[in-house]
Amino acid sequence: MLIFWILAGYLAGSCPTGYLLAKYIKNVDIREFGSGNIGATNAGRLLGKKYAVFIALFDMLKGGMIVLLATLCTHDPLTAALSGAASVLGHNYPVWLGFKGGKGVATTYGVIFFFDFFNPLPSLLGGAVWYVVMKTSRYVSAGSICGLFAAAFLTLVFKMPVPYFLVSLFLAALSTCRHKDNLKRIAEGTETKVGKK
């Protein structure tokens, strides 16, 4: 059953929301626009803020719902955690797009949110950290990385099962790797800030 949930997580996560919407609305391959990323931030530059919000929420749900279903069906934290990790890997490396996808931020938040549906505080507080860092630094990437690591360590603070912490930490590190170009541009002073084109 573990293999089933990992595969289900990957397939759910690999739905390229931003790519599909950009293709449907503007007939544009979003991978050839802006940063080339299929996630909500780049999609927002092309389609507008309301679509960015929709894509972010959908990307959260496609990971989170798999975790919720795995939890309800197996009652096993390890299975739920690995299905969530697989959904983020599906988003980042979708087979349909030659394994070139997004950076997994929204999907990771959704996964952590649904690790414990009755205690979503790690994800919500991590989101608050994202917002504060993003608003003060004006770098979405910096906010994303700080928020994900905060959410990961908050799973320990709220005494969630160890697999949730380990997977959250892995996903935060994975997102950091996916943001390596952004971090390089921040160091060079060439990264685009929020509110600037």
Residue 197 has pLDDT above 70, yes or no: no
- pLDDT of the residue at 16: 94
Query: pLDDT tens digit string along 98-156?
Result: 999 999 999 999 999 999 887 899 999 999 999 999 999 999 999 999 999 999 999 99
pLDDT score for 43: 87
- In this prediction the pTM is 0.94
**Mean pLDDT (whole number) for 168-194:** 94
pLDDT, residue 124, reads 96
Give the model's pLDDT for residue 44. Answer: 85
Question: Tens digit of pLDDT for each residue in 68-85?
Answer: 999 999 999 999 999 999
* Burial status of residue 125 (CB atoms within 10 A of its CB: 0-12, 13-18, 19 or more): middle
pLDDT in tens, 4-63: 999 999 999 999 999 999 999 989 899 888 778 888 888 888 888 899 999 999 999 999
Q: How confident is the model at residue 196 (pLDDT cuts 50, 70, 90)?
A: low
Q: What is the pLDDT of residue 113?
A: 96
CB-neighbour burial class of residue 84 (10 A; exposed 0-12, middle 13-18, buried 19+):
buried
pLDDT for 64 beyond 90: yes
